[in-house]
Structure 1
Amino acid sequence: MEAPVTSLLHDAGRGDAAAAERVFELLYRELQGLARARLARAPRVTAADTGALVHECWMRMQTLGGQHFADRTHFLAYAARAMRSIVTDMARRHAAERRGGDVEHLTLDTSAANAVADAPEDLLALDDALEALTRLDARAARVVEMRFFAGLAEAEIATALAVSLRTVQRDWERARAFLTLALKH
């Protein structure tokens, strides 16, 4: 399925609306998986379902227009970033409505992350920490997004970023250390 999706992504990047819609159809289940994983960590933030998050993500991606994706992995990584942005926006709105409350610390261990329900404050703190990491090491921040939010394997991330597997592993280690310190303060 990779070759047809890649071809359709290139056509969509050149403005072919039918190709963009076909990409959406072909990758809808994978997008739902990303949304499901993202919402599993944020049930107290929003009552949105996976379909709503996927469609909101798709609408945001469409408003950018002319977006070029090299392949399925790049597309899904970008979709994960868009979903992160949507859920973070929801968390900001939710936090603005709340007064007080204890802040829970968010773990960056991806195996434990699926069992943790992010409070709005956790999501906002993580977003702020990722922004700080982006300013210091943009590639390491992309590795976090692709691994933590998109659930991509290290080999897929290495391919998407055109770096070695070991580079992705080192970036992940550095990013985890940075974010762990940033989230403790």
Structure 2
Amino acid sequence: MQDITQRLKAAAQGDRAAGDEVVALLYDDLRRQARRQMRQSGKMTLLNTTALVHEVWLRLADPRGPGREFPDRRHFLAYAARAMRTVVIDLIRARQADKRGAGLDLLTLDTALAEETPQREDDILRVHEALEELAQCDPRLAQVVEMRYFAGLAERDIAEVLGVAERTVQRDWQKARLFLAESLCG
């Protein structure tokens, strides 16, 4: 893991080869995250797992984008999860610019059920908008949701990334779920 951390620092300094090596070393983790994201969005994005990983890498490697420093593997994967969510949301919004969906299906914040149940475009956008609202009220709660729900990180990993106790992450997850449930149902 130290090797990845060193490569992340080199990539932050502009070493493109180090960035490519990081992606190569973490490719399996990124594909796992992408598979999770694709299961949640169903067939709505017209992307496959590999295309999503590559799209995220293009966004991360964009030299015109702001410099991003990742102190370690977990921070990189947390950021990649956010980037994947953004890619999916951008694709859904682009599709909905031409047409609007109708009806509502099951919407869940239970991570186990989310893996099994593809959600409709409108539901995914509603979750995204509720998460944006949550970020305005409490950014850490939104980060916990992103890392747990979208990236599938364990509570101990989230606690380490955020620099808080694991029990704090558990409480934050409960609060975030209540907030989002209220926002989505209200």
Give the TM-score range, shorter chain: over 0.9
Q: Which runs of 4+ in 1 moved over 3 A?
A: none
| CA deviation map 1:81-139 (0-9, x unaligned) | 00000001111122223244102241001111101111110111001000000000000
Number of residue pairs matched by the alignment: 184
| Structure 1 equivalent of residue 32 of structure 2 | 33
Aligned pair 1:137/2:154, yes or no? no
1:75-114 equivalences under 5 Å are: 75-114=76-115
**TM-score for the superposition, normalised by structure 1:** 0.96
Which blocks of at least 5 consecutive residues in structure 1 are unaligned?
none
* CA–CA separation in structure 1 for the residues paired with 2:184 and 2:148: 18
1:1-185 equivalences under 5 Å are: 2-63=1-62, 64-185=65-186
* One-letter amino acid matched to 2:60: M
Q: Match of 2:158, SS?
A: helix
* CA–CA separation in structure 2 for the residues paired with 1:74 and 1:135: 21
Which blocks of at least 5 consecutive residues in structure 2 are unaligned?
none
**TM-score for the superposition, normalised by structure 2:** 0.95
* One-letter amino acid matched to 1:55: H
* One-letter amino acid matched to 1:178: F
* One-letter amino acid matched to 1:34: Q
* CA–CA separation in structure 2 for the residues paired with 1:9 and 1:94: 35
* One-letter amino acid matched to 2:7: L
* CA–CA separation in structure 1 for the residues paired with 2:100 and 2:32: 33
* CA–CA separation in structure 2 for the residues paired with 1:100 and 1:121: 7
Q: Match of 2:108, SS?
A: coil
Q: Percent identical across equivalent pairs?
A: 47
After superposition, the CA RMSD in angstroms is: 1.1
Q: Match of 1:114, SS?
A: helix
Shift of 1:65: 4.9
User: Per the alignment, do residues 18 and 112 of structure 1 end up closer, same or farther by CA in structure 2, a change over 3 Å counting?
Assistant: same
* CA–CA separation in structure 2 for the residues paired with 1:129 and 1:98: 22
* One-letter amino acid matched to 2:171: R
Q: Are the aligned partners of 1:44 and 1:119 in contact in 2 as well (CA < 8 Å)?
A: no
Q: Are the aligned partners of 1:105 and 1:183 in contact in 2 as well (CA < 8 Å)?
A: no
Q: Are the aligned partners of 2:141 and 2:176 in contact in 1 as well (CA < 8 Å)?
A: yes
* CA–CA separation in structure 2 for the residues paired with 1:183 and 1:34: 24
* CA–CA separation in structure 2 for the residues paired with 1:170 and 1:58: 32
* CA–CA separation in structure 2 for the residues paired with 1:134 and 1:95: 24
Q: Match of 1:41, SS?
A: helix
